[in-house]
Amino acid sequence: MLIPSILQAGGVKVKPLLLRSGHWFNISALNDIDIHTAVSILREQYAAWKKPAVSIVAQCERNPYKVLVSCIISLRTKDEVTAKASERLFARAENPADMAELSIDEIASLIYPAGFYRNKSEQINEISRRLVSDYGSTVPEEIDELLVFKGVGRKTANLVLTLGFGKQGICVDTHVHRICNRWGYISTKSPEESEKMLRKKLPAEYWIPINDLLVAFGQNICHPVSPRCTVCRLTGLCSRVGVTVSR
């Protein structure tokens, strides 16, 4: 059964819907006009959601070094663990020079039980030493230079640029990659492809906030498996690409 565009609660215009197995599905992709509506809705809801740990660090103090270290700790680690681990570590050392004075074992004990805490402690130690010796204890502002450091990928580098320096960039993690493809806004196979496509398509005004918004959205509503579509205010804009089971 197909119905034409209708008006959703709040006056949000939705696209043609298809009734299948008792559920309504969009049959067209999120377009450039829809992205403004989607971001507006996400911003309204963001205040009520649990914030990503790295964003909390950045909001408390825009410090590129702390953002960089927190990003390293956060990889494959729950936000609540990242937040506590970062707090313990920065209480002992909050700049590259002080961090370089700590042993790898000390750093490891402070960030435990973060995932892969031993490897991360080695990375934090090495990066801190290089920042002191090669960069005058200052985190570089260019993405290519950041990518030279061990353990720093494009996600971390972009977060340092956007949250640490307030510079333009798009941080694409698994949430941003998954949700933008699920919406039908882009069609890509990897976060790297998604970043390239979003740089071409996403309005520049959303480059910095999109990661925070979609990480919180992905953690609270748009889960990787069985997303909470029945309570999602973006249902009328979403193509639900790849969604087979939802709540």
* Average of per-residue pLDDT across 78-89: 93
Compute the average pLDDT of residues 171-199.
95
- List domains and CATH numbers for the chain: 2-49+172-237 (1.10.1670.10), 63-164 (1.10.340.30)
pLDDT at 202 over 50: yes
Between 7-21, 196-210, 211-225, the lowest mean confidence (pLDDT) is in: 7-21
Q: What is the pLDDT of residue 128?
A: 98
Q: Please report which confidence band the pLDDT of residue 51 belongs to, taking 50, 70 and 90 as the band edges.
A: confident
Sort strands 23-26 and 17-20 into parallel, antiparallel or unpaired.
antiparallel
Asked if residues 183 and 241 have their Cβ atoms less than 8 Å apart, the reply is yes
Name the residue with higher pLDDT: 28 or 165: 165
Residue 106 pLDDT more than 90? Answer: yes
The pTM assigned to this predicted structure is 0.80
Give how far the C-alpha of residue 221 lies from the chain's centroid of Cα atoms, to the nearest Å.
Answer: 14
**Residues 6+ away with beta carbon under 8 Å from 9:** none
Active site residue 32: no
Whole-angstrom distance, CA of residue 16 vs CA of residue 2: 7
Catalytic residue among 79, 120, 155, 212: 155
The reported pLDDT for the residue numbered 54 is 72
Local confidence band at 8 (pLDDT 50, 70, 90 cut-offs): very low
The predicted structure's pLDDT at residue 15: 52
Q: Which position has the higher pLDDT, 78 or 140?
A: 140
pLDDT category at 170 given cuts 50, 70, 90 is very high
Q: What DSSP character marks residue 95?
A: S
- Catalytic residue, chosen from 34, 79, 173, 212, is 173
Residue 3 pLDDT: 43
pLDDT for 193 beyond 90:
yes
Q: Is residue 53 within 8 Å of 70, Cβ to Cβ?
A: yes
Q: What is the pLDDT of residue 215?
A: 93
Total number of residues shown for the chain: 247
> Can 155 be counted among the known catalytic residues?
yes
Residue type, 106: E
User: CB–CB of 234/38 below 8 Å?
Assistant: yes
**Reported confidence tier of residue 27, pLDDT bands at 50, 70, 90:** very low
| Residue 49 confidence class, pLDDT cut points 50, 70, 90 | confident
The mean pLDDT of 130-151, rounded to a whole number, is 96
pLDDT band of 79, cuts 50, 70, 90: confident
Residues above pLDDT 70, as percent of the chain: 85
Residue 33 has pLDDT above 90, yes or no: no
Burial class (CB in 10 A: 0-12, 13-18, 19+), 181: buried
